[in-house]
Chains A and B, each alone.
Chain A
Amino acid sequence: MNYHPDIDFLLKYSSGQLEPALSVAIGVHLQDCESCREKVSQLEDVGGQTLESVAEESVSDEFFNKLLADVEELPIEQNISPFEECAVAEMDRPFVQQLSERNYENLQWEKVTKNISKATVAMNDPRFQMELLKFAPRAKIPKHTHSGSEYTLVLEGDFSDKDGTYRTGEFIVNDSSVEHQPLAGDEGCVCLAITDAPLKFTGTFGPIINWWVN
């Protein structure tokens, strides 16, 4: 794997500061990438050290008694999903699991062009929009730039542009300065795309596709 999230992403993820949509993408990448997983566990260690180092606030005895009364009834859970470790909100974790398992069943796919389908994911993240994009083998993705940044996680297959080839599990960031015209690989490609503003298509069929996408 050649394209990984930047250290800034991993830091924000590990410390719980990453926006919900991006946390989902990083959470899925981590399932596929041992080296980033290792880095995140090192950064979480820094979190543990930070927790140990803060000045203490007094806590009353009553609080502990109340807690004991509460846990008295509670069983110790034996089967805990590995996805509970993700720095992702509980409500978003099933989606991390679903994408990690490459299960697209309950998504509503719509055709954008003959070779491209998309499914919008309602994440309720005010800053980002999230979509799954499915490209047929060798599909040309219309030339576009981004008014903001675009974050892509390759879920299946691969695609390439003039700068390289991006394979399953890889995480790529494009900012507004990049105008590119990616090409899906021989097996086609499924990507998770997160944008902080809608894509702007600039090719010949740009306006029509923009209309469709929006």
Chain B
Amino acid sequence: MGLIQRQYSDNLVYWPVNAKQNTNLKGKTKTMSSESSSNNLSLQQDPVRWRHHLLAVAEKRDKNAYQALYVHFAPKIKSFYLQKGLASKAEELMHEVFIKIWQKAASYNPEKAKVSTWIFTIVRNSRIDYLRKKKIDEVNEDDCAESYEESAFEEQLDAERTKQQISNLFELLNDEQRHVIQKVYFEDKSHQIAAEELDMTPGVVKSRIRSALKILRSHMGGTRL
């Protein structure tokens, strides 16, 4: 994918992962010590490898392949839940995610999604289930919902309605817009926190979101009220 080779203008390495970024992360984080992780560092970002492992789990209940997936993804999944304010539940949810990976491995379709994307959907859905069951409203939900809906209604009339075909919507955005969208939507951060982490003011965060949504919207095709 063309996205992989993006330039990083600073130390913010939130947008697509490449080998260089992985090396940076390895330097400052502790990972589970395990043979499979240390032997295959150079292959860690190879999506083909994860696909291979996941299919081995599905077809042969291969525990070594399962462990390799665990060594790579578990520390990230735990961190993902911690970032989303689920500190007390992070490990429990992560455990649940891996149970589902085991059980649902046969439903993985390599032609439809990357392994990391497939695992992300399981991570996301476990969180949705947890919050739904506990009827916990996210701290920032109201804040997010209001401000984005407002800006959405503001902008929708101006949006150009081109129907250009592109391989991925997010190629339309510049790095700053992508970082902001990723932080606010996928990492579930408030404007304030996203602003601090990206070294911007909350006002700039809002205007980046607005411009990003406007660009994405103009490529949605169709019409809206």
A17 to B149: give the CA distance in the assembly, Å.
Answer: 13
Q: Are A49 and B15 interface neighbours, CB within 8 A? A: yes
Q: Are A175 and B153 interface neighbours, CB within 8 A? A: yes
Q: Are A47 and B124 interface neighbours, CB within 8 A? A: yes
Q: Are A89 and B132 interface neighbours, CB within 8 A? A: yes
Q: Which B residues lie within 8 Å of A41 (CB)?
A: 112-113, 117
Q: Are A45 and B114 interface neighbours, CB within 8 A? A: yes
Q: Is A56 an interface residue when CB atoms closer than 8 A count as contact?
A: yes
Q: Which B residues lie within 8 Å of A14 (CB)?
A: 124, 185
Taking CB atoms and an 8 Å cut-off, the chain A residues in 57-77 that contact chain B are 57-61, 63-64, 66-68, 70-71, 74-77
Please give the distance in Å from A190's CB to the nearest CB on chain B: 19
Please give the distance in Å from B18's CB to the nearest CB on chain A: 10
**Known A4-B224, A6-B224; contact A59-B78, beta-carbon cutoff 8 A:** yes
Q: Is the interface of B mostly helix, strand, loop or mixed?
A: helix
Q: Is B32 an interface residue when CB atoms closer than 8 A count as contact?
A: yes
Q: Is A15 an interface residue when CB atoms closer than 8 A count as contact?
A: yes
- Chain B interface residue count, CB cutoff 8 Å, equals 91
Taking CB atoms and an 8 Å cut-off, the chain B residues in 50-64 that contact chain A are 57-58, 61, 63
Q: Which A residues lie within 8 Å of B144 (CB)?
A: 17
CB < 8 Å: which of A2, A49, A74 contacts B17?
Answer: A49
Q: Are A48 and B75 interface neighbours, CB within 8 A? A: no
Q: Are A87 and B121 interface neighbours, CB within 8 A? A: yes
**Known A48-B117, A54-B83; contact A88-B128, beta-carbon cutoff 8 A:** yes
CB < 8 Å: which of A66, A76, A91, A164 contacts B132?
Answer: A91
- Per-residue 0/1 for A1-35: is the Cβ within 8 Å of any B Cβ (1 yes, 0 no)? 11110111001101111011001000000000001
- Chain A interface residue count, CB cutoff 8 Å, equals 70
**Known A3-B225, A56-B31; contact A49-B116, beta-carbon cutoff 8 A:** yes
Q: Are A46 and B182 interface neighbours, CB within 8 A? A: yes
A6 to B141: give the CA distance in the assembly, Å.
Answer: 18
A42 to B75: give the CA distance in the assembly, Å.
Answer: 24
CB < 8 Å: which of B28, B30, B90, B106 contacts A77?
Answer: B106
Q: Are B32 and A60 interface neighbours, CB within 8 A? A: yes
**Known A1-B222, A91-B133; contact A53-B16, beta-carbon cutoff 8 A:** yes
Q: Are A74 and B103 interface neighbours, CB within 8 A? A: yes
Please give the distance in Å from A200's CB to the nearest CB on chain B: 18
Q: Is A90 an interface residue when CB atoms closer than 8 A count as contact?
A: yes
Q: Are A174 and B225 interface neighbours, CB within 8 A? A: yes
Please give the distance in Å from A158's CB to the nearest CB on chain B: 15
CB < 8 Å: which of A8, A47, A58, A89 contacts B149?
Answer: A8
A78 to B99: give the CA distance in the assembly, Å.
Answer: 15
Please give the distance in Å from B210's CB to the nearest CB on chain A: 10
Q: Is A149 an interface residue when CB atoms closer than 8 A count as contact?
A: yes
Residue of B nearest to A41 (CB): B113
Q: Is B217 an interface residue when CB atoms closer than 8 A count as contact?
A: yes
Residue of A nearest to B101 (CB): A71
Q: Which B residues lie within 8 Å of A15 (CB)?
A: 124, 185-186, 188
A7 to B113: give the CA distance in the assembly, Å.
Answer: 20
Residue of A nearest to B57 (CB): A76
A50 to B170: give the CA distance in the assembly, Å.
Answer: 13
Q: Are B152 and A47 interface neighbours, CB within 8 A? A: no
Q: Is A208 an interface residue when CB atoms closer than 8 A count as contact?
A: no
Q: Which A residues lie within 8 Å of B103 (CB)?
A: 71, 74-77
Q: Are B15 and A44 interface neighbours, CB within 8 A? A: no
Q: Are A47 and B29 interface neighbours, CB within 8 A? A: no
Residue of A nearest to B115 (CB): A48
Q: Are B25 and A56 interface neighbours, CB within 8 A? A: yes
Please give the distance in Å from B55's CB to the nearest CB on chain A: 12
A50-B120, A56-B30, A174-B225 known; 5 new pairs, CB 8 Å cut-off, are A17-B188, A59-B32, A59-B74, A59-B94, A173-B224
- Can you identify 5 A-B contacts, CB atoms within 8 angstroms? A3-B223, A11-B213, A51-B76, A77-B104, A85-B121
Name the 8 nearest CB pairs between A and B, nearest first. A48-B117, A56-B75, A89-B132, A48-B116, A80-B107, A47-B120, A16-B124, A58-B30
